[in-house]
């Protein structure tokens, strides 16, 4: 049996999600009540090292599907982020990596971790990713705040019977990415002197990178970023009433824009290059969220 066949039984039924949520709560230290979930994309998993009072658990132990992609460690880490000399920081649950539909999973399997984290008490979900740059003026290494997305995956994580205990059958997507969270992120970036652009993220199925013609199509549709994750997670987080903040690290310029062939190695190399800046920005955002509680 293939890896994907083994792991695609992690279907996000209400019962499966509640079971994972219960395992998450059991894993937490006594008295812990994290309200923020943070998903780290390709090459960004080392942010877990910046947490204080950190404690980790493998995805398999909490019923999460596991990725076979380099840069996705497959661990959930609890800790405090944004800690300073005057602040204790904010409790977070941090996902080191995610699974993708291109690995053979259904979208319902892909979003099980987000549903479980929200069910476990996380009211804010921060989604990060490494993305291709499509929009004008973007360069490898840029950090971009997602203000909207295009779901071009050909499917929805909400397809199938709707469980009203999670949310309505037809959830509104006018503001998927919370305006107040985006304003906070921009204020923090400005204070820290970190460039933070904004853009629209297009989610595609993958795993192949886009052709130059597809990139021209995406630009015509208004996309600035393109990747193979984030969109289904954002959809279910909003379905369950959580607030969402999304950020991309531009890992490379999309096909036909740089004259260079695309590779996953370039993705991880760029993420490694901007890691310290990205961690500084995330810490600043977490500290701001802690002070606003």
- For the CA atoms of 199, 210, 237, 42, the dihedral, rounded to the nearest 10 degrees, stands at -90
| Domain count of the fold of the chain | 1
Write down the pLDDT at residue 31.
92
pLDDT of residue 261: 61
Active-site residue, selected from the candidate residues 130, 185, 234, 247: 130
Contacts of 1 (CB under 8 A, 6+ apart): none
Within 10 A of 147 (CB to CB), how many other CB atoms are there? 16
Catalytic residue among 7, 10, 72, 149: 72
Is 103 a known active-site residue? Answer: yes
Residue tagged 């970023």 (tokens): 225
Asked if 149 is an active-site residue, the reply is no
What are the tens digits of pLDDT across the range 81-94? 877 777 778 999 99
Instruction: Tell me the pairing of strands 143-152 and 243-253.
Output: antiparallel
Of 20, 151, 251, 252, which is the active-site residue? Answer: 252
Identify which of 64, 124, 113 has the alpha carbon closest to the alpha carbon of residue 233.
113
Task: Estimate to the nearest angstrom the gap between the alpha carbon of 231 and the chain centroid.
Answer: 9
CATH of the domain at 31: 3.40.50.1580
- Give every CB contact of residue 57 below 8 A, 6+ residues apart in sequence: 27, 75, 76, 77
Alpha-helical (H) ranges within 67-205 are 107-110, 112-119, 179-192
Alpha helix stretches (DSSP H) within the chain: 3-7, 14-27, 107-110, 112-119, 179-192, 212-221, 231-239, 264-273, 275-292
Q: Which of 7, 16, 42, 48 is catalytic?
A: 42
Instruction: For residues 2 and 27, give the distance between their C-alpha atoms in angstroms, rounded to a whole number.
Output: 29
| pLDDT at 105 exceeding the cut of 80 | yes
Q: What is the pLDDT of residue 89?
A: 81
Task: State residue 256's pLDDT score.
Answer: 56
Confidence at residue 23, expressed as pLDDT on a 0 to 100 scale: 97
Does the pLDDT of residue 38 top 70, yes or no?
A: yes
- Among 204-213, 231-240, 263-272, the range scoring the smallest mean pLDDT is 263-272
Given the residues 7, 100, 105, 239, select the one marked as catalytic: 100
Nearest to 176 by CA among 243, 90, 126: 243
Catalytic residue (one of 119, 189, 228, 234): 228
Place of tokens 């021209």: 216
Higher pLDDT pick, 287 / 68? 287
- What mean pLDDT comes out for the span 173-180? 97
Among 103, 210, 214, 233, the one annotated catalytic:
103
Name the residue range of residue 152's domain: 3-292
State the pLDDT at residue 118.
Answer: 98
User: For residues 114 and 24, is the Cβ–Cβ distance under 8 A?
Assistant: no
- Please confirm, yes or no, whether 147 is among the known catalytic residues: no
Q: Active site includes 100?
A: yes
**What are the structure tokens assigned to 116, written together?**
């479980």
**What length does the chain have?**
293
- At 276 the pLDDT is 84
Measured distance CA(118)–CA(24) in Å, rounded: 11
Q: Stretch 96-109: mean pLDDT, rounded?
A: 91
At residue 161, the 3 state secondary structure works out as coil
Residue 264 is among the residues annotated as catalytic for this protein: yes
- pLDDT above 70 covers a percentage of the chain that reads 88
């Amino acid at each position: 049996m293939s890896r994907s066949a083994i792991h695609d039984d992690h279907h996000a039924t209400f019962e499966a999600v509640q079971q994972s949520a219960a395992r998450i709560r059991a894993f937490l230290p006594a008295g812990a009540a994290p309200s923020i979930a943070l998903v780290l994309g390709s090459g960004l998993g080392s942010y877990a090292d910046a947490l204080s009072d950190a404690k980790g658990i493998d995805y398999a132990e909490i019923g999460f599907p596991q990725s076979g992609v380099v840069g996705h460690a497959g661990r959930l880490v609890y800790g405090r982020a944004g800690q300073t000399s005057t602040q204790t920081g904010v409790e977070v649950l941090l996902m080191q990596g995610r699974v993708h539909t291109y690995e053979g999973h259904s979208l319902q399997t892909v979003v099980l971790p987000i549903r479980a984290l929200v069910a476990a008490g996380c009211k804010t979900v921060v989604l990060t990713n490494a993305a291709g740059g499509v929009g004008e003026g973007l360069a490898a290494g840029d950090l971009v705040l997602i203000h909207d997305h295009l779901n071009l995956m050909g499917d929805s994580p909400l397809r199938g019977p709707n469980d009203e205990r999670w949310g309505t059958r037809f959830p509104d997507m006018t503001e998927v990415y919370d305006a107040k969270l985006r304003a906070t992120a921009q204020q923090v970036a400005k204070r820290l002197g970190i460039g933070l652009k904004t853009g629209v993220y297009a989610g595609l199925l993958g795993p192949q990178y886009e052709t130059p013609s597809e990139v021209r199509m995406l630009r015509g549709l208004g996309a600035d970023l393109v990747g193979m994750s984030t969109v289904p997670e954002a959809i279910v987080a909003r379905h369950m009433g959580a607030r969402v903040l999304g950020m991309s690290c531009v890992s490379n310029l999309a096909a036909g824009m740089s004259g260079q062939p695309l590779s996953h190695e370039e993705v991880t190399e760029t993420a490694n290059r901007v890691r310290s800046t990205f961690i500084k920005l995330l810490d600043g955002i977490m500290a701001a969220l802690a002070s606003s509680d």
